[in-house]
Amino acid sequence: MLNRAILMGRLVADPELRQTTNGIPVCRFCIAVDRPFSKDRERQADFINIVAWRSSAEFVSKYFNKGKMIIVEGSIQTRNYEDRNGNKRTAVEVIADNVQFGETKSASSQPQNYAPPAPYGGSPAPAAPAPVAEEPVSYASGDMGDFAEAPLDSEDLPF
């Protein structure tokens, strides 16, 4: 059986580094990952809880903060617990085996609405070329090469 998750997303909040009673570093954080478009053609996000241990925990705590892009490889784990009110709860989280930067340092330091600077010499940037209208391609007729239409009998269909 296979239990492997590879996620790329942005940290929702600063990672939280703690140590177990045995002194082992553990870091908990949450990332937002995009989901394919919904029926309304709107982007949606899932918020995935991640747990990193030992050197991975220290790495995340030291180099990542809210909004940074991160790549996490790990496995999905569930655990059951009782909340303060005595209700039974189930937590689903990814236990990180490997953590990497999701973007370069220069890309992460640029604001989201970044526009490239004007070229040297004070002249304005050249305008983007006008879009070229393409003729629609018709596949209804023409040479089919090695692919000829096969005769189709409704009795041969399995449904």
Give residue-wise pLDDT tens across range 42-92. 778 999 999 999 999 999 999 999 999 999 999 999 999 999 999 999 999
pLDDT of residue 62: 96
What is the SS3 string spanning 49-109? Answer: EEEEEHHHHHHHHHHCCCCCEEEEEEEEEEEEEECCCCCEEEEEEEEEEEEEECCCHHHHH
pLDDT of residue 153: 63
pLDDT of residue 122: 46
Residue 106, both tokens = 């220069």
Handedness of CA 4, 6, 9, 10 (dihedral sign): positive
Q: Where are the domains of the chain?
A: 5-106
Give the span between the Cα atoms of 40 and 42, in whole angstroms: 5
**Fold classification of 5-106 (topology level):** OB fold (Dihydrolipoamide Acetyltransferase, E2P) (2.40.50)
Give the span between the Cα atoms of 66 and 86, in whole angstroms: 32
User: Helix (H, G, I), strand (E, B), or coil: what is residue 5?
Assistant: strand
Asked if residue 25 lies in contact with residue 54, where contact means CB atoms within 8 angstroms, the answer is: yes
pTM: 0.64
pLDDT of residue 14: 97
